[in-house]
Amino acid sequence: MTIFSWQFALGYLILAPFIGGFMTGLDRKISARMQGRVGPSLLQPFYDVSKLMQKETKIVNHLQQFMVSSFVIFVAFTGALFFFGGDLLLVFFSLTLAGIFYVLTASCANAPYSSLAAQRELLQMMAYEPMVLLAAIGFYLATGSFAVKDIAAADMSGIVMLPGFFLGFLFILAIKLRKSPFDLSTGQHAHQELVQGLNSDLSGFVMGLVEIAHWYENVFLFGVVGLFILNSHVWSIPVALVVCFLVYFLAILVDNVSARVKWKLLFTSAWIVTACTGVVNLLVVSLLHLAK
């Protein structure tokens, strides 16, 4: 039994912005409760984007619109391909391409804060990319296929064979979600050292599009988390949803209790964690294959 199909992909394209926005609202509410505040309404992210869409858009460089649109399109494509059940490698490559468009959005503004943030974003990509690729390889070793459809239809959940990959992926998830301690290039919380990082020179409609792209991205990322849990049984679907929620809660908790790290620490820790979790797990799985 597999839920990955073109209907699921279409559902993602239509519903992901709503689910993603709702997740962001939940994040802000839970964060506020952790800090002893009441916090904004759950719909606040939608109010924010609706306001941004209504505001004047100050364009610094006309290339920006093109780059931001490409960012949104490729993020949506990444998710759609994933939920269609496509090739995991292609999914991750298209995610990287989307990320590069986002970097270019900032660097074409030709402004000091945006440029610095663009460099930091590239650095972050360098830090998490090995783990992302390893995850794809891990899924292949565990299930014998790169296709999301087949991975989700395996008899055994991926996490049984790939616990190390799962932990490593959780670590880089904090980078991808742009949460403390890894919100170096930009973050949802105001008062960054780099003004607003990658978003410093975006305003109005363009900024609204970036927010929507992040929502698409977040839903996709939790799709990957769920893929570790899914198997051929129907009950794995609710379990996957619960795991996704717990992981999100953990990310919010870490976000609230940690301060931003320097880029060197981000880079070395990401690679060390990748080596200790992903690579070790990879070796174990390969040895098991040899022994068979």
Partner 1 sequence: MAKMSKSPWVLHYDAASCNGCDIEVLACLTPVYDAERFGVINTGDPKHADIFLITGGINEQCKDVVKQLYDQMPNPKVVVAVGICACSGGVFKETYNILGGADQVVPVDVYVPGCAARPESIIDGIVKAIGILDEKKAALKEGRLDEYEAAHCKKKQQEVEA
Name the site residues for partner 1 (rule: CB under 8 A). Answer: 28, 32, 35-41, 44, 46-48, 50-58, 190-192, 195-196, 199-204, 207
18 vs 46: CA distance, rounded Å: 8
Looking at the Cβ atoms of 28 and 168, the one nearer to partner 1 is: 28
CB of 200 to partner 1, least distance (A): 6
CB of 95 to partner 1, least distance (A): 26
CB of 187 to partner 1, least distance (A): 11
Sign of the Cα torsion 123, 95, 17, 246 reads: negative
Residues paired with residue 87 on neighbouring β-strands, in sequence order: 147
**In this structure, what are the phi and psi dihedrals at residue 190, rounded to the nearest 5 degrees?**
-70, 180
Looking at the Cβ atoms of 5 and 54, the one nearer to partner 1 is: 54
CB of 123 to partner 1, least distance (A): 22
CB of 243 to partner 1, least distance (A): 29
Looking at the Cβ atoms of 43 and 288, the one nearer to partner 1 is: 43
25 vs 60: CA distance, rounded Å: 30
CB of 158 to partner 1, least distance (A): 39
Cα–Cα nearest to 205, from 89, 23, 50, 63: 50
Q: What Cα–Cα distance (Å) separates residue 172 from each residue in 14, 51, 248, 271, 273?
A: 27, 31, 13, 10, 9
Looking at the Cβ atoms of 36 and 235, the one nearer to partner 1 is: 36
Contact between 4 and 152 under an 8 Å Cβ cutoff? The reply is yes
Residues 6+ apart with CB under 8 A from 162: 135, 138, 139, 142, 228, 281, 285
Looking at the Cβ atoms of 38 and 259, the one nearer to partner 1 is: 38
What does the block give as tokens for 127? Answer: 């830090």
Cα–Cα nearest to 39, from 48, 50, 30: 30
Looking at the Cβ atoms of 190 and 291, the one nearer to partner 1 is: 190
